[in-house]
Structure 1
Amino acid sequence: MRAVAVQTFRAEPELVQLPKPEPGPGEVLVKIDYAALNPFDWQVADGLLDGRVPHVFPLVLGLDFAGRVDVVGPGENRFVVGDAVYGQAGRPPVGTGTYAEYVTMPHDTTIAGVPDGLALRAAAALPTAGMTALEILRTTTPLDPGATMLVVGAAGGVGSALTQLAAARDIRVVAAVRGDERERMRALGAAVSVDTTEQSVREACTGGVDAVVDLVSVDAESFGAYAGLLRSGGTALSTRGAAAPGQGVNFQLTASGALLDALAAAALAGEVHVPVEAEYPLEKAPEALARNRSGGARGKTLFVP
């Protein structure tokens, strides 16, 4: 099969030919229709998890996918051939990724059915960003309708999904972004959009907020400046490990099939949609990864094997 992989850490991604995988007991082989790019993909290729989990080379990149079950392995299985599925292929060993024509997945891990009415293209953009946003929202609740949530870095994939999910629950979102994103963030449900290159977040949140979700700060000082806007009893959360003890919560996603089911239901109900910025054939993935390293993405990039 065709796949995009690196031969060693920090090598250039390239299109390669690999044997078509076969599903083991309790697994399914998925024919991938769409794979989605996450910054985590090139970070893994650079050795982010080196020494922490086992890897295989050539290391096929990619986590998020949507497609159809092509083969069902022996033993118990909740899927049948032809089922539309989507998920996150993040199990060890690292290197059996989704920038490929096929991927194998245990039926009881982070894979779920795509309900009728939800397009595979839309589903492929959801898993990592959507599950992260949904679990963040659960972590910061209970928030009453009308409560205010500050989302720092709201223009990215997680921020866009979180803004939509929070707005669907009548939570007032203050979206902190770089640049003039007022129209786009308003369309996603934000009550206020703050261009941090022109205005301080503190000026926009003079009355304080009930929750802070910081998707960008990498140090305790920057995170603490946002956490200081909390009203009594509020929750401050960092996805970058920036919260010092007593400052807030350092969030880590616990992905699951059940979370994917809840996310698909939310998407079907119109509560969340991760916008697709670009779509490329698989052989263009190395170029797209290079562009993603420079930052500034305003939606998902999808690859079509």
Structure 2
Amino acid sequence: MTLLSATRCFLAIMLCLGVLPALADDSARIRLATFNIRCPMDKPPNDWPSRAPRVKALITRHQFDIVGLQEATHKQLQFLLSDPDWASIGVGRADGKRGGEYSCILFRPARFELLASDTFWLSETPEVAGSQSWESANRRICTWGRFRDKISGKEFVLFNTHLDHRSKKARLNGVKLILHRMDGIANGAPILFTGDFNTLPNSKTILAVREKLHNSKALSEIAHLGPVGTLNGFVYDRDQPPKREIDFIFVSKGVQVHSHRTIDDTDDGLCPSDHFPVLCEITLP
């Protein structure tokens, strides 16, 4: 067996085991994820104290570099930030401080330098904390951060959101607002867009995003791994995997996507969240 074929066999085995290793010969690759970690409102064994170690273990096991979180509350975020390897940006959607859910960005400060960040509300008054419009069932926000990768020296802007679960009008208008603001914020830097979009791939909302950005799943050099669906409802049967795909990672032109995966890890059949995270490995242009 040649060295090349042996390497390919090794990678294939690692992929089948659910691990996407960062290749040593390309340290500039970024492991970017989106993860709805579910707010703390469930009974055991899916209450937050039970799930918290599972969430942290998954993030560590799959070596996330940067991740857009949804439904994170201040208490949950403080638990994740007890690990000094992580920092975050974002505010609670209820008051622009600590109230309500965050659509925050968790990142490794050893890898990324934060250059700028902000949060705006998906409403007709985006700068008014706690505002909502378009028949939205809840307040919705978008948090963004401009980062410099300390390995490659390249800058990029990551936008993260959680669209409304009831109002189609709120989802579409909310995403249009984010897309409208992107270019001015990015100012030519590559754009990454993560989130729980609460809608399917063929919806008007996702089609609107695809007019500007690319679905990382479609660009992946390696065929998508894991189930198609991302919403598991804390129940997972590998023989009947979930079908509702509502969590996405989008990227701007020129971003190279090496792999794309829906992570279906469980701990003795218990899911870390009612959503599976999505992970892709990218290289900035």
Larger-Rg structure: 1
The TM-score with structure 1 as length reference comes to 0.29
User: Which structure has greater strand proportion?
Assistant: 1
